[in-house]
Amino acid sequence: MRRVPGWIVLSGIALQIVALAAADRLLRRRVAPPEVSKRGNGAMPAFINEVADGGARRYHVRIASHDLYAGFYSDGRVRLATSSGRRFSGVMVAKKAVMADLGADDSFEMDVVDDAGGCPVVEMNGGPFDGHRLAFEILDL
């Protein structure tokens, strides 16, 4: 039985790696930045409105130099989006959620500590909002 020379095997592997890298670059270019729609109090990221849910509640809060938008959905899902394009997703269980950054390896815990007047007050532990206690306002749609 005849053996295939090593340089042919390595060339085949190198060709596959180059093809995968090229495909990765092409796909990354096609990913558009998050859509933003003008509604209510400001430019709300489309990420918050993507879920078609009649029982959804949408909120807004201003943090330092950017806006934070939240969507609470009737099935327990929670989505957060910043005006700078970061997106977070999680599931609310017993007024607590672990929120994961959809664009990075980052997560944090979010606890609803008060729901006075239909607007949640949340405490965030870890991640980009560590130590924040935020009182959301209803977003006019």
**3-class secondary-structure state, position 43:** strand
Rounded CA separation 71/114 (Å)? 16
Please report, as a single letter, which amino acid is at residue 21.
A
Question: CA nearest 107: which of 125, 133, 121, 95?
Answer: 125
Per-residue pLDDT of the chain (141 residues; tens, 9 = 90+): 788 888 888 888 888 888 888 777 776 654 444 343 344 445 678 888 888 778 888 999 888 777 899 999 989 999 999 988 899 999 999 999 999 999 888 889 999 988 767 788 899 998 888 888 888 888 765
3-state secondary structure of 122: strand
pTM over 0.75: no
User: How much is the pLDDT for 14?
Assistant: 85
Contact by Cβ (8 Å): 108, 130: yes
Give pLDDT, residue 105: 85
Position 79 scores a pLDDT of 93
